[in-house]
Structure 1
Amino acid sequence: MTSRLSLSLLLCLSACQSDPAVVADASTDLPAVDVPAVEDAPLDAPTALDGGGRCSFNRDCIPSERCECDEATGCRCAPGARGTGLPGVTSCASGNDCQSALCVEATRGSLCSDACTMSSDCPAALPRCLSISGVGRFCARDPSIPDAGVDAPPGCEGACATTDLQATFGSRRGAFERAQHGRLASGRLVIESHSGGDPACPTMSSPTPRRTLSLRGVLATADATPQTQADGLTAVLFDFGGDLTSAPLLRATAVRVVPRGYTANGYVSLEVTATFPGGTITGGLFAPHCDSLDD
């Protein structure tokens, strides 16, 4: 498994460590974060410069190796060709596509990233310099930017117009960076939140996303009264990429949404809490209307 990072900040790079301490860059006043050094390894453990050592980026490895990560053993240098993708420019499916070995979720799909010391080091597409203990600092997307270029409608700015759903399944975590909705024959709504795939309204030929949270039976209202399963609401997780679970489909055992805004044939905005066997998905979503999702 190669390194691909979601904004929820569980990397393949840190999958074998305890919960990472995350710090957002605030230009030059970012507090220091302790990062385990190669010298901390046991004496019989190889270092990156000797080959086969621990790593966070390709630059930590000898030229004939690249940084590869596995959930069971962590990140180590291993023989293999390095990618050529540039940070903030090149789309990627895994760290093997990138010069740095780091592929992260962006506002649209995924982009190659790289190390940074402050936000001014980062490209416009990945403007935030974040830090994870045990990994280091890297460029990431700004979660406050509305999804995939969607303009915030009047009365629904800021968090209301943002999708920031986060999934936690044990040590595995993942983000959902965009959402869309359609109208069911009953007049209720179906909402799909995605990671990866095509941000355009779905068609039969659309690429499969990494994962999708499907909410069905949502009442078409801006009334902030909570809605639950007792109101006919259901939630299903499709983990197409296998990043969160070993099951491609999981049904929620409990789900609750609180509307933040709604306009007919325009958008729906919700706060979501969904509980699944082994994990949860929580956060906000902003979902423009897609005719292709209507019954």
Structure 2
Amino acid sequence: MTTHVTVIGLGAMGSAMAETFLKAGHQVTVWNRTAGKAGALVALGAHEAASPAEAGELMVISQIDYQAMYDSLAGVDLTGKVLVNLSSDTPSKLREAADWVAGKGGVLITGGIMVPPPGIGQPGAYTFYSGSSDVLSRHEEALKALTDVTYIGADPGLAMLFYQAQLFMFWSGLTSFMYASALAESAGLPVSAMLPYAQETYGGLAGDGPMGFLKHLAAEFEARVYPGEPNSLHMQAVGMQHVVHTFEDAGLDLTVPVALKDLFARADAEGHGAESLGAVIESISKR
């Protein structure tokens, strides 16, 4: 079924989405705050709007943040419009935005798109969505041209909560590999010497085997019970001090190792030393 889609924001992500909608056979209107970015899309069949007021019912937004949406649509009548905003911000900002759009007569569907621009329209790509399930269902077929649709819940902030959580795990995981690689290089070793063990560690964390800590931790978090034997949090806190000293001796940056050492030490000092490493979540959550 052909849908009239208006893409607001023609950066790398918005342009990729507009092109993907076109390839899927949809009628596409595009608009960008800075003129001059629509030429290639127009050549592919898109219509460049002079104003967002020309948008059809379905508006897909890809901008730097939610303030950009306010700036772009401040004077636009949104009555009957469905805004699917895939911009990044905070869950609280998305909840405020849902009220703002509703006050202008429209409905906001929030999203967190979990692939970079080259992944748009590719197998395995997915996006977290939240807001009205009924409204999302009406436009799910069109949105599936971009990625799989993963509905999180009615709370408009949930899509961004999952999105930011995933990004944090992604960035911190890659950063830890950067630190490990720098440590290997400090000893004159190639990074490739560290790679197979890093792959084993990261893959094992998500698995069901002895190293499948994610599954074990999730169970501990939900039960709020953290068995500390045979490896107590206190032992991990002491071990993290050794990690910091190792990076210090190698002359490397200490920002992330020290932050982790301080977090473990605080959880230990707050009385969780005899429990497992999972008890650190109590200090993170400030329970």
TM-score of Structure 1 vs Structure 2, range by shorter chain: under 0.3
Q: Could you tell me the TM-score, scaled by structure 2's length?
A: 0.24
User: As a proportion of its length, which structure holds more helix?
Assistant: 2
Structure showing greater radius of gyration is 2
User: As a proportion of its length, which structure holds more strand?
Assistant: 1
Q: Could you tell me the TM-score, scaled by structure 1's length?
A: 0.24
- Higher relative CO (Cα under 8 Å, sequence separation at least 6) belongs to 1
